[in-house]
Structure 1
Amino acid sequence: MNKISSSLYRRMRVMTAISRTLRELVTKPPILNDVNALLFSLKSFIAAMLAYYIALRIGLARPSWSIVTVYIVSQTSVGASLSRGVYRLVGTIVGALATVLIVPNFVNYPLICSVVLAGWIAFCLYFSLLDRTPRAYAFVLAGYTASLIGFPAVFDPGSIFEIAIVRVQEVIIGILSATLIHRYVLPKRITGQFNSTLSAALRDARQLVEGTLRGPCEKDGMPFQLASALQFLQGLGTHLPYDFANTVSRYGSRRLIHDRLARLLPLTTELRDRLQFLNRETSPPSAAMRILLEDIQAWLACEDMSQRGVTGEALIARAAALKLHLNSHAVTCTDRHFANLCSHLLEIIKVLQECDHLYGTLNQATSLFKNGIHRELKHGKGYVFHRDYLMAARSTLGAFITIVIGCILWIYSAWPDGATAVSILGVCCTLFGSFDTPAPHIIKYIIGSVYGVLISLIYSFILLPQVTEFNVLVAVLAPAFLFAGSLQARPSTTFMAMGITLTLPILSALGAEYSGDFAASLNTSIALFVATGFSVVSMSLLQTVQAEAAIKRLLQHSRRDIRRRALGPAPNEIYWTNLMIDRTALLLPRLQGRGKSSGDRINEMLHYLSIGNVVSQLRSLRVNFPGQTEMQLNGLLSVVAQYFSDKKHNRLLMRDCLQRKIDELIAGILSDTNIRADQLIELLIDLRIVLRLRDKEHIYDY
């Protein structure tokens, strides 16, 4: 009996070890990504075949477009698939209506008709560039659809209405099929991805503050990661209402938690600046300050959210008491700096506490009514997008010129397949127009199209002529579409997959019956590669934005906005902070491979963020100091505005002037009995530090 029990025990241990090994193997990122990609590919293929079957049953002329729609709409999560489907449907309907209105009205003027269609496509592209959310896909599709329907109908306007109606029907079938399968077959909800990403962002935020308190370390890139995480969370958040797991209160909580995390970035930058200054001081911090800093680091390292909540409240009380003590007993400038440091520590603790509480509300773990946060939900700003109207107009003009040139070459050369080439050219301009450098992405699309053409030729003239049953057709199509779908699930090969999934169904002429035509397939393939090749050249010349030019423009916009905030009414601090976080996130991909200079540019942007906040607070506070102090503050703000003009020599000329005005203001306020005097002194110290000005014995030159 003991031998049997021992043997059974050993077997159980072996099975447990094998099970653990397999689980660890499957959950490793590369393996897990492969499993998810294959699952997504399988579901997309099932949806595509369902759409194809329905389109065949109701007798649509081009059922292949239902397959294309499924692959365009399908995303790796339920919410993203449904939202993309809604945007595609809206865009398709609007684009079809626009085409029906444009083409018949210019029936005798093909070139003018083509120019008007190009203008419509450019118009849609312009608004898609300004929107910068997933909703921009509706604008893209409105232009995309007009290109695909309109140009082939320029010389055959009589069929435009029928083509538009059929296209909308095909798109609806594709959207419904994709939504049904991704919604009910092993659904992957975006809510879970959003919550896990937010949890990681909160953890990174704590580590960012902890690393700042410890001093320079290997995690200096965390501010950049946090800015990118906020941008990514915004993209996920747009799809959440379509995930069937969302409420209005959670929407408010998401906006508010974004505001808090965005505020944390400038706070951390300012904390680092103050610590670097105080490290140069000869007088060490008091025992109370040193113990507070150590306790904050221990609190930040704590993983238990409930314990962090209790400890955080105690730290807030201690930091507030220490700040009050330092301000009331300040004798030297260094004492004021320690009080200023304490003020920033207090705000950082409060922000992190509120982030933890708001994260709990998203998971229904805590009450919204605690600490009165529910009253702030309606006032949360959420993500604010930087919009560059001039750059959007430049890209739009480039797309318009590209399409018009293509139309002129097509019409005056009388190329029979020129309409197909121009329609593909319009698709390239709308799909890739949002990238600074569209050419590399189009080249990936061309590589995928090469595979798509080769595969479609094999299907059209070797495999499909032998197929007579629908179930056999599904089995024959499965290898190519499953391969393409797995590529689509991986970001690095998405555009290559698009080249296959957009090419294969159309060139294979998947219809109610076999209709293979080698000459037609060859001509369409030539039109495809001519159009994509021409788009690479033209978009490289007319729509490419050099990274350095984009970086300089973002920094220029930030300096311009600081001048506006210094001279007159400006958006509130939360709006400004969130806008600058978006600009910081926009810098990151453009700074890749630039080494140390990339960190300098990001730090410059974060300092601009802090300066803008300080300037707006000074403008708001000056009304509490009527008379001489108010006049001095107005003079200081005017100099700040001049300091941030685009003339570099102005900065050198204005530094001494700024320093003198700040010193005069601090000296005059020290004897002021106004209850807001301490707050104004703190703001002036903030301005001095963030502008890196000289302070009698020290220079802020880091």
Structure 2
Amino acid sequence: MSQTRISPVRGADLIFALKTFGAATLALVIALWIDLPRPYWAMATVYITSQPLAGATSSKALYRVLGTITGAAASVALIPNLVNAPELLCLAVALWTGLCLYLSLLDRTPRSYLFMLAGYTLALIGFPAVTDPASIFDTAVARTEEITLGIICATLVSTLVLPRSVAPVVGAKVEGWLAQARRLSRDVLLGGGARTEDQVNRLHLAVEALEIDTLATHLAFDRLADHNAVRGLRALRLHMLLLLPLLGSVRDRLAALDDRIRPELAELLQRLARWVMAESEDREPVSALHSAISALRPALDANTSWDQIMTASLLIRLRELIDISEDCRALNTAIAADADSSQVALTFRTEEGIEPARHRDHGLALWSAAGVIVAILVSCAFWIGTGWVDGASAPMMAAVACSFFAAQDDPAPSIRNFAIWSLVAIIVVAVYLFAIIPAISNIEMLIAALAPAFILFGILIAHPSTTPIGMALGANGATLLALQSTYNADFESYANSALAFMIGMAAAIVLTRLVRSARAEWIAQRLLQTNWTNLAETAERRGHNDRATFVGLMLDRLGLLAQRFAAIPEADRSELAGLSQLRVGLNIIDIRRARHGLATPTLSAIDAMLDRLAAACRNRAAVPMPPDLLACIDNAMTRALDEPPARPKEDALIGLVGIRAALFPEAPPYDAHADHPRSLVA
């Protein structure tokens, strides 16, 4: 079985490696033909930009070109004006790189490459040009042409020669996700599986949904993908995100009812479990399930018992589960058939056209920017202090290394590994430069000689686990070869450049350790606290948040937390896996729908509860949820039960029940006849 799975991957990896080497040689030959000063930059750029999936290469191509142009323009503006003040020039380059890295880390889309390249391109172009500032414009134009040529060659070969589309990968992941979601829905409805196992499965689905979201970003740039599929996936993605907290809500309500579920409700749950797993042609009509739910819904008044409230809440969530599940199937069918998803009749309406928000950590981004600034300045101080002619490579590589790995919790290990494999590239290139290339007399023999090593580098790039190794070998190998139209390699010059290169990498490692490295536990705690702060803001705004944006933001952080799950304290893991923060926020947003139809005493009770909830969320790192918050929730429920039968009453009760179940799952049942303190509403 392992051979069946691995063999096709190896074939695809080899094809990618051959395509990448072909694009690199094409870029090199064109650069030599049009007499660009450093044609090897075009070759190296191909190995930096190429991705196994065509859409992933195309999605970043334009931004990489724009980033290169921006960085080149900055070098033209800064170098001639500050070349006579080297300390000020180094500071300007460091600050520019830090600013661009800060913006890049906040963006977290393919557009982030524009900012990152704009940052370190200034260092790549500017530092070697300080000895000849008069030619900076020509140098900047040449670097832009070389890098743009490499990007164009990589993109054209990736999209025209045996392209590997993102669409089948996304389609397979969506099919797998929906199949897992159906099984999880069945287990929740039938009460199967342990609560912990259910939470872990939901967490896994949340992470998978975010991976699909990342791939979907590239799908829009894939020329092989149908525009209907892109539009349909956007709508499907919103339904997928909303399904996860909904399953948590259903599970909580079933757990609260426990063995007090009425026989007719148990029969309905069995019907829904069969319906969820059935093929489309064998499924019971949705209208019949809607009717069964309506027939079981109890009337809610001031004398309603807790079981009746939970049953009514459960039935409403079950109807939403039916609607979302049906829409997911319909949208997935439309995507598979390349049909226009806008023509699909959806039952559960979401906020169409809203892109899920992404988490931004301004503090961590500023910290990373400070790290690259310090690394560049220290490398520049070493370069200027020693008067080393070839020392410009040190701040260049410090800028590149610190920028490339800045998104990691602790970039130092990755920079160290990159440096180790860069040293391997230095040795390999030395063999080529001083043992193999001197005997080569034409371009054909040169390409044949380079093929074994660079095809191997491409194979390494194709495997996610070895991508950094292949990138270090391919990009640095092409750069260090420094191929020109004539052979002019000099061992002393090569050794100097290689030494400066490694000093820059060493400076990046040491200074990253001192300035930037962070523990996964610390990052996880920041994310958790940010979630509680976001929830407090939602409560203070009385749920005046866009539902899809809130879900996207919370699940985006959930994906970041899942990567650090082992570093999260045991007490917070269950809360995280249960999506309690997300579900509370959605219930607050749902309560907002009821605000304009409620009486003043009820509205005052709900507002008091939201204020207490906001205060508790802001202090969540220090204390557990306070008991008086539970009293506030119960008081608001008592007020809501006094409301006349109408949709606002239903929305308010469902939201309050959801908040209570998510924050106080072990609390005693609500008692409508208990004496809830009226002072809490004041």
Class of the TM-score when normalised by the shorter of the 2 chains: over 0.9
Q: CA separation of 1:329/1:256 partners in 2, compared to 1, >3 Å: closer, same or farther?
A: farther
Counterpart residue number, 1:134: 110
Counterpart residue number, 1:683: 655
Distance 1:377 1:60 in 2: 53
Q: CA separation of 1:205/1:330 partners in 2, compared to 1, >3 Å: closer, same or farther?
A: farther
Name whichever of 658-667 and 475-484 sits farther off: 658-667
Counterpart residue number, 2:630: 659
Counterpart residue number, 2:680: none
Q: CA separation of 1:374/1:621 partners in 2, compared to 1, >3 Å: closer, same or farther?
A: closer
Counterpart residue number, 2:675: none
Distance 1:633 1:466 in 2: 84
Counterpart residue number, 2:138: 162
Distance 1:665 1:221 in 2: 32
Kindly indicate whether residue 371 of structure 2 is the aligned counterpart of residue 392 of structure 1. Answer: no
Kindly indicate whether residue 95 of structure 2 is the aligned counterpart of residue 116 of structure 1. Answer: no
Kindly indicate whether residue 588 of structure 2 is the aligned counterpart of residue 615 of structure 1. Answer: yes
1:669-693 CA-partner distances (Å, limit 9, x unpaired): 3343241323322222222111116
1:139-167 CA-partner distances (Å, limit 9, x unpaired): 11111211111111223212211111111
TM-score (norm 1): 0.89
Deviation at 1:250, TM superposition (A): 4.1
Deviation at 1:482, TM superposition (A): 0.9
Distance 1:398 1:266 in 2: 38
Name whichever of 664-673 and 85-94 sits farther off: 664-673
Distance 1:369 1:262 in 2: 19
Deviation at 1:463, TM superposition (A): 0.5
1:301-340 pair list within 5 angstroms: 301-302=277-278, 304-308=279-283, 311-323=285-297, 325=298, 331-340=304-313
Counterpart residue number, 2:317: 344
TM-score (norm 2): 0.92
Letter of the 1:63 counterpart: P
Deviation at 1:329, TM superposition (A): 13
Contact 1:252–1:380 (CA<8 Å) still a contact in 2?
no
Q: CA separation of 1:249/1:46 partners in 2, compared to 1, >3 Å: closer, same or farther?
A: closer
2:422 paired residue among 445, 449, 462: 449
Deviation at 1:438, TM superposition (A): 0.7
Gaps of 5+ in 2: 672-682
Distance 2:125 2:529 in 1: 41
2:236 paired residue among 257, 265, 279: 257
Aligned length: 666
Q: CA separation of 1:650/1:548 partners in 2, compared to 1, >3 Å: closer, same or farther?
A: closer
Kindly indicate whether residue 237 of structure 2 is the aligned counterpart of residue 227 of structure 1. Answer: no
Q: CA separation of 1:39/1:430 partners in 2, compared to 1, >3 Å: closer, same or farther?
A: same
1:15-74 CA-partner distances (Å, limit 9, x unpaired): xxxxxxxxx786x22222222211110111111111111111111121111110111121
Counterpart residue number, 1:242: 221
Name whichever of 374-383 and 576-585 sits farther off: 374-383
Contact 2:351–2:548 (CA<8 Å) still a contact in 1?
no
Distance 1:472 1:443 in 2: 35
Q: CA separation of 1:480/1:370 partners in 2, compared to 1, >3 Å: closer, same or farther?
A: closer
1:532-611 pair list within 5 angstroms: 532-568=505-541, 570-592=544-566, 599-600=573-574, 602-603=576-577, 606-611=579-584
Letter of the 2:242 counterpart: R
Deviation at 1:366, TM superposition (A): 5.4
Letter of the 2:13 counterpart: A
Distance 2:303 2:268 in 1: 19
Counterpart residue number, 1:10: none
1:475-519 CA-partner distances (Å, limit 9, x unpaired): 110111011110011111111112111222222231111112111
Contact 2:354–2:549 (CA<8 Å) still a contact in 1?
yes
1:483 paired residue among 421, 432, 456: 456
Deviation at 1:595, TM superposition (A): 9.1
1:69-468 pair list within 5 angstroms: 69-213=45-189, 214-217=191-194, 218=197, 220-246=199-225, 249-279=228-258, 281=259, 283=260, 285-302=261-278, 304-308=279-283, 311-323=285-297, 325=298, 331-364=304-337, 368=341, 372-373=345-346, 379-468=352-441
Q: Secondary structure at the match of 1:383?
A: coil
Letter of the 1:82 counterpart: S
Name whichever of 314-323 and 422-431 sits farther off: 314-323
Q: CA separation of 1:256/1:524 partners in 2, compared to 1, >3 Å: closer, same or farther?
A: same
1:631 paired residue among 593, 604, 616: 604
Distance 2:342 2:71 in 1: 46
Letter of the 2:181 counterpart: A
Contact 1:368–1:374 (CA<8 Å) still a contact in 2?
no
Deviation at 1:367, TM superposition (A): 5.7
Deviation at 1:696, TM superposition (A): 4.3
Deviation at 1:428, TM superposition (A): 0.8
Gaps of 5+ in 1: 1-23
Deviation at 1:113, TM superposition (A): 0.9
Deviation at 1:364, TM superposition (A): 3.4
Among the aligned pairs, what percent are the same residue? 31
Contact 1:253–1:358 (CA<8 Å) still a contact in 2?
yes
Name whichever of 455-464 and 493-502 sits farther off: 493-502
Deviation at 1:97, TM superposition (A): 0.8
